[in-house]
Amino acid sequence: MAMAGNEVNHSPLWDAGYDAVMVTDTSFPRNRHSHRVSDTIDTLDLPFLAAVTEGLKAGLGAP
């Protein structure tokens, strides 16, 4: 499913000429705070984010 430009977090990177992708296991964010005033660092599951990042590094062959 394609999303309109400002519906994705990385669209400002596209606008600035950078390549960007979003990796997700769901269609829309699970965090009910996403894109709201309550969207703060303390509402994120940082251990899960770290595990996903490590998995991507391994999958992409990064050192």
Mean pLDDT by 10 residues, the chain (63 residues): 56 85 69 85 90 89 77
pLDDT of residue 26: 65
41 with 33: CB under 8 angstroms? Answer: no
Q: What is the pLDDT of residue 5?
A: 46
**Confidence at residue 3, expressed as pLDDT on a 0 to 100 scale:** 47
Q: Tell me the C-alpha distance between 18 and 35, whole Å.
A: 22
Return the closest-CA partner of residue 30 out of 45, 50, 12, 40: 45
pLDDT attached to residue 50: 92
- Structural domain boundaries of the chain? 1-30, 31-63
